[in-house]
Amino acid sequence: MKTFSISAAQGEISIRKISEIPSHVQPLEKERGKWIIGKSETHHDHVLIAEEPRVFISTKTPDGMRILYANLEAAAELVHERGHDTHETISFEPGIYEFRIGREYDPYAELARQQMD
């Protein structure tokens, strides 16, 4: 299990500890009963495992990008739900974190889209 103090990454997700959540956010709803941070086409998602987290999504992001914020009152983990060839679990101390999901450009569709595993 990985730990960090300022920044880390898990696949297409960049994570950094921040001091406060910006004002341009709205609460994120759970999907399939989970806090899904990074989505996968094959449902091998990156899931935040935490007790009572407050998770938000930015309302101001560039096309194809997803930015999430989590206020964690207790220790937590980011788990890649895949049985093989998985990204190592990341452990978090209580605090406020930003999760940026990378984006890629598709020249055939001429659009930017969220990166996925």
Q: Residue 61: CB partners within 8 Å, gap ≥ 6? A: 67
Residues 31/35/40/42 CA torsion (nearest 10 deg)? -60
Residue pair 72/94 in contact by the 8 Å Cβ criterion: yes
Give the pLDDT confidence score for residue 44 in this predicted structure.
81
Note the pLDDT of residue 116. 55
Q: If DSSP codes are grouped into helix, strand and coil, which group holds residue 40?
A: coil
Domain edges within the chain: 2-114
pLDDT in tens, the chain (117 residues): 777 778 988 888 999 999 999 999 999 999 989 999 998 776 688 999 999 999 999 999 887 789 999 999 999 999 998 765 668 899 999 999 999 987 766 677 665 666 555
Of 80, 20, 6, 5, nearest in space to 56 by CA? 20
